[in-house]
Amino acid sequence: MDFGTRRTAELLAALGNPQNALKIIHVAGTNGKGSVSEYIARILVASGKRTGMFTSPYVSNFAEQFSINCAPAPQKELAESLEIALSEGQKRDATSFEVQTAAAFGLFKRLNCEYAVIECGLGGTFDATNAVRKKQLALIASIGLEHTAYLGNTIEEICAHKAGIAAGCPAIVSALQPPEAREYFKKRSFAFADKPIEIEKSDLFGTHFRYGGDPFFTQMVGFAQPYNAALAIEGARSLGVEEEYIRSGIAAARLAGRLEVILRGEKVFVLDASHNPSAFQPLADFAGKNFLREQTGAVFSSLSDKDVSKNLEILSGVVGEIALVQSSSPRAMAMDRMYNNCRPFERAYKTSGVGEAIAALSHCKNIIICGTFTILKEAREWIENA
């Protein structure tokens, strides 16, 4: 990683500044920004707006980061856009993420999109996606302590990075914030998606809730999802989208790897990319409401810069057994470090891969796969082929 917006700006200029032909909605946040991006994109598509979306990281395949009208981008056009961006990027020592960002804008212009929903990679101010200065709207999801080596050691420092995406455009902030973040954004006079939220029903298959008294349904689960949806609702309203399209867009949204439920006979698998304490809390809340602890196991992996002690402490409240997997990422946490934090569990297994980990928990009715995006693809493949 090499942060800054200069190379991306130069790369976009070399490509003819394709971003200038698009109405850009920029999304940042520690947790929930992928869901917010999905919600607002679905709403725009429901209203008839041709919409490109660029998100990261991917769960199953690289190409899923680029979508047109919430469907996979055409492979030929995506490949060509990436090749063009890479050719120019190599002249400027651009990082892979900078090349992908530029390719996304080139692709969306090429395929005649009106809107582009762009998710920040990390932070905000110095993220490659923030090389674009002309935007319609900035949406900021929940803030928490993460990537402190890059973003700062306090909530306020992290907020400052996220707020950097709002230069020159209106900004709306999720109401799901720690007090320090709420105070920071209020001082910046950012709007909040803070009408009353009431969850009427939530189960394995979705969430019925009211936002400001208005009824909505989302296929996504977990107590954080109504807050993520509310942020997209307020964003869409600020753009003048009609309520019927907002409601249908929220109902259509779905996202792989975020409290994603897969049923296989009587066994329930949950794939969740939670990797910090504030993301593990919705996972624990969901599991606690739907599963018995003694019937639930977890396949867990972590990257080395995560708060593994706190993450596992939260997980242990709803999971009885845990099977550890070392991620293939160069940033993977060592097996022994993960294992040394597993004392709150009845049993902990060291395994050599996701398949072995799931097999170790085969007696469990419910199996949660979590801790990092990097093991979700293998888990999905194992589940689908079992």
CATH at residue 373? 3.90.190.20
DSSP 142: B
Distance of CA 33 to the CA centre of its chain: 5
Residues 237, 302, single domain; the answer is: no
- Give the C-alpha separation, 231 to 194, whole Å: 8
Phi, psi of 195 (to 5 degrees): -70, 155
pLDDT at 104: 98
By the 8 A CB rule, do 138 and 170 touch? yes
Residue with tokens 């409601």: 247
By the 8 A CB rule, do 370 and 357 touch? no
Dihedral angle sign, alpha carbons of residues 38, 41, 47, 50: negative
pLDDT at 345: 97
Task: Quote the tokens at residue 92.
Answer: 């400027």
Residues 224, 287, single domain; the answer is: no
- Give the C-alpha separation, 261 to 241, whole Å: 30
> Of the candidates 227, 252, 277, which is a domain's last residue?
252
Q: CA nearest 333: which of 371, 368, 361, 359? A: 371
Residue with tokens 């998100």: 55
Residues 231, 266, single domain; the answer is: no
> Of the candidates 252, 274, 304, which is a domain's last residue?
252
Give Cα separations from 59 to 55, 154, 170, 192, 344 (angstroms): 11, 29, 31, 30, 29
- Give the C-alpha separation, 330 to 205, whole Å: 35
pLDDT at 1: 65
Instruction: Kindly give the residue spans of alpha helices, DSSP state H, lying in the chain.
Output: 6-14, 33-46, 75-90, 96-110, 148-151, 155-163, 179-187, 225-238, 243-252, 277-290, 308-316, 335-339, 354-360, 376-385
By the 8 A CB rule, do 172 and 190 touch? yes
Residues 215, 296, single domain; the answer is: no
By the 8 A CB rule, do 275 and 306 touch? yes
pLDDT at 152: 60
By the 8 A CB rule, do 255 and 220 touch? yes
The SS3 of residue 320 is coil
Residues 177, 60, single domain; the answer is: yes
Task: Quote the tokens at residue 246.
Answer: 């907002």
Residues 136, 267, single domain; the answer is: no
* Tens place of pLDDT per residue across the chain (386 aa): 677 899 999 999 999 999 999 999 999 999 999 999 999 999 999 999 999 999 998 888 899 999 999 999 999 999 999 999 999 999 999 999 999 999 999 999 999 999 999 999 988 899 999 999 899 999 999 998 765 555 667 999 999 999 999 988 999 999 999 999 999 999 999 999 999 999 999 999 899 999 999 999 999 998 999 999 999 999 999 999 999 999 999 999 999 888 999 999 999 999 998 888 988 999 999 999 999 999 999 999 999 989 999 999 999 999 999 999 999 888 899 999 999 999 999 999 999 999 999 999 999 999 999 999 889 989 999 998 87
Residue 231 resides in a domain: yes
**Distant-in-sequence, close-in-space partners of 61: CB < 8 Å, separation ≥ 6:** 377
pLDDT at 385: 87
Residues 233, 91, single domain; the answer is: yes
DSSP bridge partners of 297: 321, 367
pLDDT at 20: 97
pLDDT at 22: 98
CATH code: domain of residue 223: 3.40.1190.10
Tell me the residue type at 242.
E
Q: Name the domain count of the chain.
A: 2
| Angle, vertex CA 182, rays to CA 176 and CA 185, nearest 5 | 120
pLDDT at 60: 83
- Give the C-alpha separation, 164 to 176, whole Å: 19
Residue 129, domain extent: 6-252
Residue with tokens 């803030």: 143
pLDDT at 143: 92
Tell me the residue type at 172.
I
Residues 367, 225, single domain; the answer is: no
Based on the number of CB atoms within 10 Å of its own CB, is 360 exposed (0-12), middle (13-18) or buried (19 or more)? buried
